[in-house]
Amino acid sequence: MTLAGKIGDIRWLLAQQSAERTPKAFVGLLTFWLTSLFASFGLFAPHNLVAALALTLCALAVSGAIGMILELEQTFGGLLCISPRPMYSALSILRDAAAQSDYPKTLAHISPASRRS
């Protein structure tokens, strides 16, 4: 039973690591579409400072949103990173609870040192 559990854990880990990211063709198409959209807004907008400033701020907001979406694909790296410490803490609590009860020792093979590599 423990071998089947380990195989299941490894399979799940491999599935999470090989998760598809946003396709580059989609990002390229979205960038082209937004560039042409803001270029057409700039062509037909009145030629004054307020319109130019509004278009610039809107373009920066949209590019920041796309950048944030692409950044959040990298969970444990990048500009914004999530700490794995709470998960290790929860696993240690579960491992201790399993050690004190009559349940099978399914969490004994999980340790923070084995997951950091």
Q: What residues does each domain of the chain span? A: 24-75, 83-117
Higher pLDDT, 79 or 71: 71
Hunting for tokens 């198409």 — which residue is that?
A: 29
Low-confidence winner among 15-24, 40-49, 88-97 (lowest mean pLDDT) = 15-24
The band of 74, judged by pLDDT with boundaries at 50, 70 and 90, is: confident
CA atoms of 51 and 41, how far apart (whole Å): 10
Higher pLDDT, 3 or 34: 34
What average pLDDT is seen over the chain? 79
Predicted pLDDT of residue 33: 93
> Which pTM value belongs to this model?
0.53
Q: How many CA atoms lie within 13 A of 18 on its CB side?
A: 6
Higher pLDDT, 99 or 19: 99
CA atoms of 31 and 38, how far apart (whole Å): 11
